């Protein structure tokens, strides 16, 4: 008996380590193959491609990018937006760092594309061809998204690193990545958009997805940028930041290409009617129910909410915060009179808030401004002073004497238990933008009032379409009165862009591509209003006199870490 | 039995008397003069022996044909031989065995004589553990083991265990040591310290190599008590203590606070006239008058929150141990009960008695009506029941089995404090502690005159009355069941010295909780308009919850051991052991996937003539968290020792009576690389957090699928290569002992997230890889003296340990300046700006380097050093400042003496080369809240030259000029503590003679009694992860107790 015990024990001693108990490994994680084959989940992979589209409503510390232009500033004193506007940024803390986000998005589009191609998919009630079409469309969505992410890189950095396929961790290309020229990048975006447009539907039932027009608009805007002054500087020798040795003919051809592409977007047909149309009401456009919004082309779509109102309402209408991004006095002065004639205010004079561009009330909150159901707000100091008054509550009250009224839905009411929610889709490209870009390109290519290509729309007509929707009467509009030279015509288009696209991230890049950067270094002005027993006195104040623009700021710095790790990546000039 | 003894004795008496044999009587006492019961008296060379009785007395009749020498012995005392050839009555004083050279120490998978150990192992005995009135055993280890750094980061009843670091830290991953109880990986914190026999701390590679992939951070072996052959021993102990916070912030009074807040608003250029915005803290001199006089406590209160809402806590512990046994069965049974209450006052009846509330009640009948206890108990309470049975059964001479059973039941109760659901959340601690540092004393009355619950705007959750008494409760129960069955078979019939043994253990832990949350409506009040503003919605009792998260663990081991001596000088022993461990828990993505370890372990010891010692250890381990082919590895270690004092050439002398030199080298691993993740698998996670949505409703967000961490098949454990040299010695007849150990460790393959990768490739991050390298070295030393002068015994013992690590490689992000790399610095080294004083003028600011791009820097703000000289203060100007949060130097001193029945002992314990970084409300002046003494000395234009604190601003927010991490804010975390003080008195045995009692000991002791430190509002051992102080504060304990044995 004992002998057996010995024997068994010894055998056990050497068997135990021989058994492998290690086979129990996790089996419940998601493999892409499994997830993308499932009817219920295959779309998630496609959906994820959209997750990196940026939301301009909270770009930098909750402030709009436009707060770093002469259109406005932000009430948060230590917000990074001020550092951006005042030039306190560098490659190590670039502030406007979209490098990471864009490339994460680009990788996701490659990842989705790879698995859409590789994985076998069976869908209920669908033929093999249906599935192939679904896959094709999914891949086309990825191309369009990649074009969007790449355009974002282009407008920030100039030439960027083109990643053309999914990279495994062991990919040798990791060591040789470098930036492509501006020209190559433009061509890459155009190719992506052209390819995507082939497979994308004109109108998607699922609002918010990439459509044919989306791809076409990204392409058109890219071409417009490519034709712009910044990228066609004479004597430029750095291919990363624009064309080298651009001739006048090259430039003209670029404007023509842009005009053609923009025209295609304007005239994109959904059946018999145009796919895109201007929304009837400028103010309501930004809170429109998605399926009734035919003006947005490229945008950030998200669920309903009221965070924007909470942040942007004047403090008396918000709960705990308020303020945020606020317009400047020079922006207020930029609005024309109601008849379209230029508004001028003598230095130090009191501003006029009535009889202005119809969009003024929809964009700017001022002393005595009507917030619809939320009543009237006052920014004056002294008698009847509220927290909305200039500098009343640190970080929340206005510092310019104005509030941003645009985008806000004044049915949102924070004084009741359920304040309500509204749509806040942030537009990157909408039809009004396309029309104004078209006007710009046409003027540059062919002249303000000619249409030699037979597009059916002159620059002037495109401009007027936007102004008519804004509430101007085309018959009586004084806007173009006496405007005859090309430069003056272009200036009118630029001015219209400033008002129409205010706080939509247009001006930050427009001023750069037009090379009108003097405006980026002008001090930000505000208006102090004192109320002494009903007597209002107006004092113009300087809110920020440290605005800076330097040559290098045309382009954002590539994050320093990236350069330090891969010296082959060339930094932008001056950084 | 007794009768037989009497008869035999009588017979002996008759017979031996007839042969005129000798009868010897005597007493045996210990050094303190106390009678020694149960000492053995044997006539040398015979089996003739007796045992001392309850008075320490004995009577023995000597056999005529043997030496007339008596051998007197007792466990733990030095054996004595007394020649009785010329005496019939002797008094023997037995000396405690000071050297304890024969002491057996628990080592990895076995035991070893202390004298023959060549690795670095420290040992703590049962007595040391029970001397300290703590709830978690880990806190009793503080200062007892050289090289063991403890940090108690919380004082929460039931959750106050200390973090342990053996020889500091050598990895930026988990550095927690492996803890085994009776050879099985288990938690030891909630074991009743009366149930513990000893704790071994294994420090070097030689001691830990057998633990292979899990031993690199050191190993702590806890051994529970077992029964001994002999009479049943019953021990009953009972103690009661009261607890206080070791440190709590004491606010300034209402008037001072109001003045400082007003000043902050003023400095920010805000309107501070009373007509202005209330957020600007306007206050007139009339307001100040009201704060001072307390004429209107509902509108101008002055609440001393610490005084109102804290109370002494209590702690009581009862333990019953029964042990004993015979040749067949030995048993140990332990039963324990512990109850600890918290130090927050949750009882409304008690609160009503406080003068602040009493005054409010007297002013308003509505307050009287509103202040009633809720119908549940929200108090902090921890109760623990422990039961243990350790049985040893000898089946025959060669075969024995053991059955150990342990069960622990813990029950924690606490106020819900707005966070019922998160079991381990510090959410509720945050609310509780925050009330002392975020609520200014004059912000709001605790309750309105109308009886409505009160708070100030924007701080609706902060009223401590509501938080403590009126938010519900949470009650958690935890169960731990541990079962072990083992056998041992002596195979001497096969081969002398050979034996085989095995063990199987099954542990299961589970728990659940019940909680209830509710809260009343909270209002603020405006005196001017006599209007109440509702801030926080109340709701009726709801969210009753319960869940359980079982963890089950299995462990099996089988060992063959050999132990023999040849020619009485060659001692050879060895063990070959194989084990398996599996643990299943619901944890994260891989819930219930067992974590499996397997190992083959071997050890050989050779000892020549107690002079030369050599030992080989090896572990061959595997872990299933790695990819196939990377699962197993081999960890060898070798150590050797030399005892020169045993050499024949070494002169016998009275100075150095024992010395041993030892050295070890080896490799150990650490696979605890942050959670139990399967890094070799790629992962893809569903997400609904895309924030993007499709369609018309745009709600909810679209579901996405994220590419998770990329796989890294090559991932493996950390490898520690450790060297240790040591010297143990005993001097002056073992009165003085001195030990010294030097160690050096190189930890490589530390799993770390690569910082160097190109973002453009689109990988958000590369998978963790084995890239880190850390070097850790230091020394530890112990010096002890013990002696006695008559009945006066005393001892003194000091320990000092130093460990410093340096990051050799960490795959950091690229940095523009070399000094920004963490490489070359210790793990956790603080980085920040160098404080250069306060700006004194606008001109000075204009001339100084621009700070962080801020345009609102004013005189009184802090000025920082421009390290790189580029004229801008930014993150490139951060340099290493201070130390890390784990002390490099720890030390302790123990002193004690006893005289007759009295004994006193104390321990001073401390740490230095450590930095703490209190932030937010415990570090800075508070935006809306409390102010402290140090803020009185702030910068003002008048006090510019003497100010020790910057200008007060209203907004103390991170990333504003003054609140960057800088030398100004870092505090030296050094401390010296009266960790432990104990008085004992044993009732003289004579007084117990007529009772069944064997001994009674009365004692009073304390824990954390007194602390010297620079850290002000919080304990210097504050949780570094809660730098804002949001945790349950540490406590000091005053305790009295009694121990009775039968």
Residue with tokens 């572990």: B619
Asked if A47 and B681 come within 8 Å (Cβ–Cβ), the reply is: no
Residue A503 lies in a domain: no
Question: What pLDDT is stored for residue B394 in this prediction?
Answer: 94
Residue A391 lies in a domain: yes
- Find out whether the peptide bond into B700 is cis, omega within 30 degrees of 0: yes
d(CA B468, CA B379): 8
Question: What pLDDT is stored for residue B15 in this prediction?
Answer: 47
DSSP per-residue codes, A203-221: S-SSTTS--HHHHHHHHHH
Residue A272 lies in a domain: yes
Measured from the Cβ of residue B362, the count of other Cβ atoms closer than 10 Å reads 10
Asked if B580 and A99 come within 8 Å (Cβ–Cβ), the reply is: no
d(CA B284, CA B476): 49
The pair of structure tokens assigned to A527 is 């208006």
Query: B631 touching A, CB under 8 A?
Result: yes
Residue A505 lies in a domain: no
Residues A397 and A445 in one domain: no
Check: complex ipTM more than 0.85: no
CA distance to partner chain B, nearest, from residue A302 (Å): 5
Give, as one character, the DSSP assignment of residue A56: G
d(CA A175, CA B814): 16
DSSP per-residue codes, A356-425: B-TTHHHHEE-TTEE-GGG-EE---EETT--TTSTTSSTTTS-SSS-EE-TT--TT--TTSS----B--P
Question: What are the CA-CA distances from residue B1030 to residues B304, B313, B459, B915 (Å)?
Answer: 19, 19, 16, 18
Mark which of A193, A225, A249 sits at the end of a domain.
A193
Of A544, A569, A263, A212, the residue nearest B761 (C-alpha): A569
* Burial tier of B448 (Cβ tally within 10 Å: 0-12, 13-18, 19+): buried
CA distance to partner chain A, nearest, from residue B948 (Å): 25
Say if residue B773's pLDDT is above 90.
yes
d(CA B830, CA B842): 31
Contact list in A for residue B624 (CB cut-off 8 A) is 21-25
What's the pLDDT tens digit per position in B979-1014? 999 999 999 888 888 888 888 999 999 999 999 999
Give the angle B744-B748-B751 at the CA atoms, nearest 5°.
135
Of A275, A166, A120, the residue nearest A211 (C-alpha): A275
- Going by their DSSP bridges, the two strands A426-430 and A369-370 should be labelled as unpaired
Helix, strand or coil for residue B562? strand
Q: Between A35, A53, A302, which is nearest B705 by CB?
A: A35
Lowest mean pLDDT among A370-374, A516-520, B668-672, B833-837: B668-672
What's the pLDDT tens digit per position in B182-192? 999 998 888 99
Lowest mean pLDDT among A83-87, A434-438, B352-356, B640-644: A83-87
CA distance to partner chain B, nearest, from residue A375 (Å): 21
Say if residue B9's pLDDT is above 60.
no
Lowest mean pLDDT among A232-246, B216-230, B431-445, B595-609: B431-445
Question: What pLDDT is stored for residue B898 in this prediction?
Answer: 92
Contact list in A for residue B578 (CB cut-off 8 A) is 13, 16-17
CA distance to partner chain B, nearest, from residue A107 (Å): 5
Give, as one character, the DSSP assignment of residue B430: H
Give B478's contacts (C-beta < 8 A, 6+ positions apart).
B408, B409, B410, B411, B412, B509, B510, B511
Q: Between B270, B493, B710, which is nearest A394 by CB?
A: B270
B-contacting residues in A 444-483 (Cβ below 8 Å): none
Residues forming beta bridges with residue B804, ordered by sequence position: B777
pLDDT band for position B764 (cuts 50, 70, 90): low
Residue A574 lies in a domain: no
d(CA B905, CA B736): 18
Contact list in B for residue A93 (CB cut-off 8 A) is 874-875
Contact list in A for residue B631 (CB cut-off 8 A) is 22
Of B593, B598, B605, B640, the residue nearest B619 (C-alpha): B598
B106 backbone dihedrals φ, ψ, rounded to 5°: -80, 125
Residues A330 and A381 in one domain: yes
Question: What pLDDT is stored for residue B689 in this prediction?
Answer: 66
- Going by their DSSP bridges, the two strands A72-74 and A325-327 should be labelled as antiparallel
Q: Between B559, B582, B694, which is nearest A206 by CB?
A: B694
d(CA B1041, CA B238): 6
Give B359's contacts (C-beta < 8 A, 6+ positions apart).
B294, B297
Question: What pLDDT is stored for residue B81 in this prediction?
Answer: 85
Q: Between B596, B682, B704, which is nearest A47 by CB?
A: B704
A-contacting residues in B 438-497 (Cβ below 8 Å): 458, 489, 491, 493-494
Q: How much is the average pLDDT of B310-339?
A: 94
Say if residue B807's pLDDT is above 90.
yes
Query: B871 touching A, CB under 8 A?
Result: no
Residues A138 and A221 in one domain: no
How many residue pairs from chains A and B have C-beta atoms closer than 8 A? 238
Query: A177 touching B, CB under 8 A?
Result: yes
The pair of structure tokens assigned to B378 is 């929200």
B-contacting residues in A 134-163 (Cβ below 8 Å): 160-161, 163
Query: B576 touching A, CB under 8 A?
Result: yes
Interface mutation vs chain B, best among A92, A149, A169, most B CBs within 10 Å? A169
Highest mean pLDDT: which range of A302-316, B879-893, B946-960: B879-893
Select the more confidently predicted residue: B99 or B896: B896
- Going by their DSSP bridges, the two strands B769-789 and B736-752 should be labelled as antiparallel
Residues A466 and A407 in one domain: no
* Burial tier of B722 (Cβ tally within 10 Å: 0-12, 13-18, 19+): buried
Query: B590 touching A, CB under 8 A?
Result: yes
Residues A174 and A53 in one domain: yes
The pair of structure tokens assigned to B729 is 């010695």
- Which helix H or strand E contains B266, and what residues bound it? helix B254-267
Asked if A51 and B690 come within 8 Å (Cβ–Cβ), the reply is: yes
Of B716, B642, B702, the residue nearest B673 (C-alpha): B716
pLDDT band for position B423 (cuts 50, 70, 90): very low
The pair of structure tokens assigned to A210 is 């990439």
B63 backbone dihedrals φ, ψ, rounded to 5°: -75, 140
Helix, strand or coil for residue B467? helix
Residue A171 lies in a domain: yes
- Structural contact between residues B648 and B679, judged by C-beta atoms closer than 8 angstroms: no
Of B315, B158, B133, the residue nearest B241 (C-alpha): B315
Residue A487 lies in a domain: no
pLDDT band for position B4 (cuts 50, 70, 90): low
Say if residue B1031's pLDDT is above 90.
no
Query: A103 touching B, CB under 8 A?
Result: yes
- Going by their DSSP bridges, the two strands B792-809 and B889-899 should be labelled as antiparallel
Q: Between A169, A209, A569, which is nearest B766 by CB?
A: A169
B-contacting residues in A 261-300 (Cβ below 8 Å): 289-291, 300
Mark which of A137, A158, A193 sits at the end of a domain.
A193
Query: A238 touching B, CB under 8 A?
Result: no
d(CA B953, CA B41): 80
Asked if A565 and B758 come within 8 Å (Cβ–Cβ), the reply is: yes
Give, as one character, the DSSP assignment of residue B210: G
Q: Between B589, B756, B757, which is nearest A29 by CB?
A: B589
Of A458, A553, A475, A16, the residue nearest A241 (C-alpha): A553
Q: Between B558, B678, B759, which is nearest A26 by CB?
A: B678
**B-chain residue closest to A168, CA distance:** B710
- Report the half-sphere exposure of B838 (CA within 13 A, side-chain side): 20
Residues A379 and A408 in one domain: yes
Query: A17 touching B, CB under 8 A?
Result: yes
A-contacting residues in B 299-358 (Cβ below 8 Å): none
Say if residue B958's pLDDT is above 60.
no
For A74, the domain range is 64-90+303-422+514-553
Residue A337 lies in a domain: yes
A-contacting residues in B 753-812 (Cβ below 8 Å): 756-764, 766-767
Q: Give the torsion sign (CA, B197, B203, B206, B210).
A: positive
Contact list in B for residue A423 (CB cut-off 8 A) is 698
d(CA B321, CA B226): 10
Give the angle B844-B845-B851 at the CA atoms, nearest 5°.
145
Asked if B705 and A41 come within 8 Å (Cβ–Cβ), the reply is: yes
Question: What pLDDT is stored for residue B421 in this prediction?
Answer: 58
Question: What pLDDT is stored for residue B17 in this prediction?
Answer: 46
Query: A32 touching B, CB under 8 A?
Result: yes
Instruction: Give the count of domains, chain A.
Output: 3
d(CA B768, CA A352): 62
Residues A316 and A333 in one domain: yes
d(CA A421, CA A419): 7
Interface mutation vs chain B, best among A2, A12, A16, A214, most B CBs within 10 Å? A16
d(CA B1002, CA B981): 14
CA distance to partner chain A, nearest, from residue B25 (Å): 49
Of A338, A356, A403, the residue nearest A376 (C-alpha): A403
Residues A132 and A268 in one domain: no
Q: Can you give the C-alpha Rg of chain A in angstroms? A: 28
Residues A276 and A189 in one domain: no
Residues A101 and A7 in one domain: yes
The pair of structure tokens assigned to A278 is 């201007």
Asked if B593 and A301 come within 8 Å (Cβ–Cβ), the reply is: no
Residues A290 and A432 in one domain: yes
- Which helix H or strand E contains B915, and what residues bound it? strand B915-916
Asked if B684 and A163 come within 8 Å (Cβ–Cβ), the reply is: no
Query: B271 touching A, CB under 8 A?
Result: yes
Select the more confidently predicted residue: B38 or B304: B304
- Which helix H or strand E contains A265, and what residues bound it? helix A248-266
Question: What pLDDT is stored for residue B384 in this prediction?
Answer: 95
The pair of structure tokens assigned to A201 is 């539907």
What's the pLDDT tens digit per position in A240-287? 999 998 999 999 999 999 999 999 999 999 999 999 999 999 999 999
Q: How much is the average pLDDT of B874-893?
A: 93
Mark which of A193, A221, A246 sits at the end of a domain.
A193
Asked if B759 and A92 come within 8 Å (Cβ–Cβ), the reply is: no
Question: What pLDDT is stored for residue A415 in this prediction?
Answer: 85
| Average pLDDT per 10 consecutive residues for chain A, totaling 575 residues | 60 57 61 74 86 86 90 86 87 84 91 89 88 94 96 95 85 82 97 96 89 96 96 94 93 96 95 93 92 92 88 85 86 95 89 94 94 92 84 86 94 88 93 97 95 94 95 92 93 96 95 94 93 89 89 92 80 90
d(CA B653, CA A30): 73
- Structural contact between residues B794 and B842, judged by C-beta atoms closer than 8 angstroms: no
pLDDT band for position B13 (cuts 50, 70, 90): very low
Question: What pLDDT is stored for residue A185 in this prediction?
Answer: 97
Contact list in B for residue A25 (CB cut-off 8 A) is 593, 624, 678, 681
Say if residue B626's pLDDT is above 60.
yes
- Going by their DSSP bridges, the two strands B148-152 and B162-166 should be labelled as antiparallel
B860: left (phi over 0), alpha (psi -120 to 50) or beta: left
Supply the CATH number for residue A138's domain: 1.25.40
Question: What pLDDT is stored for residue A239 in this prediction?
Answer: 95
Residues A244 and A149 in one domain: no
Asked if A30 and B683 come within 8 Å (Cβ–Cβ), the reply is: yes
Asked if B767 and A561 come within 8 Å (Cβ–Cβ), the reply is: no
């Amino acid at each position: 008996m004992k002998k057996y015990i010995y024997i068994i024990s010894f055998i056990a001693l050497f068997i135990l380590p021989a058994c492998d108990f290690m086979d129990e490994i996790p089996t419940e994680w998601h493999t892409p193959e499994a997830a993308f084959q499932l009817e219920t989940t295959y779309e998630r992979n496609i959906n994820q491609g959209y997750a990196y589209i940026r939301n301009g409503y909270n770009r930098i510390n909750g402030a709009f990018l436009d707060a770093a232009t002469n259109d406005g500033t932000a009430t948060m004193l230590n917000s990074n937006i001020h550092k951006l506007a005042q030039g306190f940024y560098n490659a190590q803390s670039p502030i406007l760092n979209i490098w990471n986000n864009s490339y994460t998005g680009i990788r996701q589009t490659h990842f989705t594309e790879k698995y859409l191609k590789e994985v076998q998919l069976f869908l209920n009630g669908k033929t093999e061809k249906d599935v192939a079409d679904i896959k094709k469309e999914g891949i086309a969505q990825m191309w369009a998204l990649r074009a969007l992410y790449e355009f974002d890189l282009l407008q920030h950095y100039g030439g960027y690193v083109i990643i053309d396929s999914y990279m495994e961790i062991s990919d040798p290309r990791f060591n040789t990545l470098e930036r492509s020229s501006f020209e190559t990048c433009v061509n890459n975006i155009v190719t992506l958009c052209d390819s995507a447009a082939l497979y994308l539907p004109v109108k998607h039932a699922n609002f918010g997805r990439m459509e044919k027009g989306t791809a076409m608009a990204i392409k058109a805007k890219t071409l417009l940028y490519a034709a712009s002054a910044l990228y066609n500087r004479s004597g430029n020798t750095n291919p990363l930041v624009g064309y080298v040795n651009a001739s006048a003919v090259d430039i003209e051809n670029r404007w023509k290409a842009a005009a053609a592409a923009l025209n295609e977007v304007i005239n994109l047909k959904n059946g018999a009617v145009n796919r895109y149309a201007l929304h009837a009401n400028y103010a309501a456009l930004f809170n429109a129910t998605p399926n009734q919004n035919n003006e947005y082309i490229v945008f950030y779509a998200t669920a309903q909410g009221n965070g924007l109102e909470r942040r942007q309402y004047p403090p008396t209408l918000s709960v705990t915060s308020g303020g945020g991004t606020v317009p400047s006095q020079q922006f207020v002065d930029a609005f024309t009179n109601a008849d379209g004639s230029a508004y001028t205010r003598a230095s130090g004079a009191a501003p006029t808030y009535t009889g202005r561009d119809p969009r003024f009330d929809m964009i700017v909150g001022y002393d005595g401004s009507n917030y619809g159901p939320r009543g009237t707000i006052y920014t004056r100091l002294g008698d009847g002073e509220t927290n909305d008054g200039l500098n009343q509550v640190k970080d929340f009250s206005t510092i310019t004497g104005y509030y941003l009224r645009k985008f806000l839905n004044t049915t949102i009411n924070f004084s009741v238990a359920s304040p309500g929610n509204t749509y806040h889709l942030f537009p990157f490209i909408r039809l009004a933008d396309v029309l104004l870009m078209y006007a710009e390109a046409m003027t540059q290519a062919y002249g303000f009032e000619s249409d030699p290509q037979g597009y059916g729309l002159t620059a002037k007509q495109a401009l007027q379409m936007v102004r008519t929707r804004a509430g101007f009467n085309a018959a009586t509009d004084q806007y173009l009165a006496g405007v005859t030279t090309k430069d003056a015509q272009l200036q009118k288009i630029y001015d219209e862009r400033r008002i129409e696209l205010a706080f939509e991230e247009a001006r930050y890049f427009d001023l750069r591509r037009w090379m009108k950067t003097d405006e980026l270094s002008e001090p930000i002005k505000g208006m102090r209003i004192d109320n002494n027993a009903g007597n209002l006195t107006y004092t113009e104040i300087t809110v920020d006199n440290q605005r800076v623009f330097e040559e290098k700021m045309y382009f954002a710095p590539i994050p320093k870490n990236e350069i330090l790790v891969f010296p082959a990546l060339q930094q932008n000039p001056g950084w | 039995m007794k009768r037989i003894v009497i008869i035999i004795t009588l017979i002996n008496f008759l017979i031996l008397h007839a042969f005129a044999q000798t009868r010897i009587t005597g007493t045996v006492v210990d050094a303190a003069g106390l009678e020694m019961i149960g000492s053995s008296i044997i006539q040398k060379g015979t089996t003739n022996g007796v045992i001392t009785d309850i008075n320490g007395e004995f009577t023995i009749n000597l056999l005529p044909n043997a030496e007339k020498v008596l051998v007197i012995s007792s466990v733990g005392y030095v054996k004595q031989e007394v020649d009785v050839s010329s005496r019939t009555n002797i008094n023997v004083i037995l000396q405690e065995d000071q050297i304890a050279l024969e002491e057996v120490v628990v080592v990895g998978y076995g035991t070893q004589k202390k004298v023959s150990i060549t690795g670095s192992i420290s040992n703590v005995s049962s007595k040391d553990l029970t001397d300290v009135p703590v709830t978690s055993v880990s806190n009793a280890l503080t200062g007892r083991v050289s090289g063991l750094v403890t940090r108690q980061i919380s004082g929460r009843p039931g959750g106050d265990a200390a973090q342990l670091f053996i020889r500091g830290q050598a990895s930026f991953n988990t550095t927690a040591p492996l803890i085994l109880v009776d050879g099985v990986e288990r938690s030891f914190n909630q074991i009743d310290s009366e149930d513990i026999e000893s704790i071994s701390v294994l420090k070097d590679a030689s001691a830990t190599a057998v633990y292979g992939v899990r031993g690199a951070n050191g190993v702590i072996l806890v051994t529970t008590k077992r029964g001994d052959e002999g009479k049943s021993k019953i021990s009953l102990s009972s103690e009661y203590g009261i607890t206080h916070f070791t440190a709590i912030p004491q606010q300034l009074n209402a008037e001072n606070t109001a003045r400082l807040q007003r000043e902050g608003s003023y400095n920010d250029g805000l309107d501070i006239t009373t007509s202005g915005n209330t957020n600007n803290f306007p206050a007139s001199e009339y307001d100040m008058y009201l704060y001072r006089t307390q004429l209107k406590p509902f509108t101008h209160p002055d609440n001393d929150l610490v005084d109102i809402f804290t109370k002494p806590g209590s702690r009581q512990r009862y333990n019953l141990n029964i042990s004993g046994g015979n040749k067949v069965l030995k048993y140990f049974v332990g039963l324990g009960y512990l109850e600890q209450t918290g130090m927050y006052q949750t009882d409304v009846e008690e609160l009503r008695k406080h003068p602040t509330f009493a005054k409010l009640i007297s002013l308003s009948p509505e307050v009287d009506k509103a202040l009633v206890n809720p119908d549940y108990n929200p108090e902090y309470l921890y109760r623990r029941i422990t039961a243990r049975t350790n049985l040893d059964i000898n089946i025959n001479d060669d075969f024995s089995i053991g059955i150990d059973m342990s069960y622990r039941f813990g029950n924690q109760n606490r106020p819900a404090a707005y966070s019922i659901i998160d079991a381990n959340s510090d959410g509720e601690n945050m609310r509780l502690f925050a009330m002392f540092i975020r609520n200014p004393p004059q912000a709001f009355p605790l309750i309105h005159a109308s009886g409505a619950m009160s708070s100030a705007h924007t701080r609706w959750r902060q009223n401590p009355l509501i938080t403590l008494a009126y938010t519900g409760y949470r009650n958690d129960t935890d169960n731990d069941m541990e079962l072990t069955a083992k056998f041992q078979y002596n195979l001497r019939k096969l081969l002398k010295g050979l034996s085989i043994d095995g063990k199987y253990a099954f542990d299961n832990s589970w728990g659940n909780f019940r909680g209830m949350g509710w809260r009343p409506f909270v209002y603020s009040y405006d005196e001017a308009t006599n209007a109440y503003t509702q801030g926080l919605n109340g709701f009726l009792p709801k969210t009753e919850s319960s869940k359980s998260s079982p963890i089950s663990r299995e462990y099996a081991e089988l060992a063959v051991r050999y132990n023999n001596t040849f020619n009485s000088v060659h001692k050879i022993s060895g063990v070959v052991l194989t084990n398996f461990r599996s643990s299943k828990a619901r944890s994260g993505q891989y819930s219930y996937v067992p974590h499996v370890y397997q190992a083959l372990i071997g050890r050989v010891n050779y000892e020549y003539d107690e002079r030369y010692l050599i030992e080989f250890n090896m572990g061959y381990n595997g872990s299933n968290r790695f990819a196939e082919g990377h699962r197993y590895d081999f960890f060898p270690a070798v150590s050797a020792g030399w005892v020169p004092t045993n050499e024949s050439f070494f002169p016998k002398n009275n100075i150095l009576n024992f010395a041993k030199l030892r050295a070890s080298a080896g490799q150990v691993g650490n696979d605890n690389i942050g959670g139990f993740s399967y890094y070799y698998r790629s992962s893809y996670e569903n997400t609904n957090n895309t924030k993007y949505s499709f369609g018309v409703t745009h709600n909810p967000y679209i579901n996405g699928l994220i590419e998770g961490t990329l796989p890294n098949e090559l991932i493996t454990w950390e490898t520690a290569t450790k060297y240790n040299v040591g010297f143990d010695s005993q001097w002056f007849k073992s009165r003085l002992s001195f030990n010294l150990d030097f160690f050096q460790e190189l930890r490589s393959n530390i799993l770390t997230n690569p910082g160097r990768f190109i973002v453009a490739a689109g990988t958000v991050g590369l998978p963790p890889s084995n890239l880190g390298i850390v070097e850790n070295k230091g020394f530890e030393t112990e010096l002890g003296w013990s002696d006695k002068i008559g009945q006066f015994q005393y001892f003194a013992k000091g320990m000092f340990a130093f460990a410093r690590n340096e990051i050799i490689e960490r795959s950091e992000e690229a940095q523009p300046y070399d000094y920004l790399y963490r490489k070359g610095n210790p793990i956790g080294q603080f980085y920040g700006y160098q404080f250069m004083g306060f700006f004194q003028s606008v001109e000075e600011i204009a001339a100084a380097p621009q700070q962080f791009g801020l345009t609102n820097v004013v005189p009184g703000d802090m000025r920082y050093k421009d390290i790189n000289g580029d004229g801008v203060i930014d993150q490139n100007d951060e340099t290493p400042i201070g130390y890390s949060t784990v002390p490099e130097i720890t030390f302790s001193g123990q002193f004690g003496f006893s005289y007759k029945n009295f004994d006193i002992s104390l321990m001073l314990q401390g740490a230095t080369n450590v930095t703490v970084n209190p932030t937010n409300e415990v570090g800075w002046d508070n935006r809306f809240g409390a102010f402290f003494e140090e803020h009185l000395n702030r910068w003002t234009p008048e006090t510019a030259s003497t100010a020790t604190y910057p200008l007060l601003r209203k907004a103390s927010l991170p990333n504003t000029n003054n609140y960057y991490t800088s030398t100004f804010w870092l505090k030296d975390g050094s401390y010296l503590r009266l960790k432990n003080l104990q008085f004992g008195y044993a009732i003289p045995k004579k007084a117990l003679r007529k009772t069944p009692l064997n001994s009674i000991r009365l004692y009073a002791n304390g824990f954390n009694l007194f602390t010297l430190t620079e850290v002000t509002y919080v304990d210097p051992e504050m949780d570094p992860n809660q730098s804002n102080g949001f945790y349950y504060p540490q406590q000091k304990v005053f305790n009295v107790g009694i121990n009775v044995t039968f």
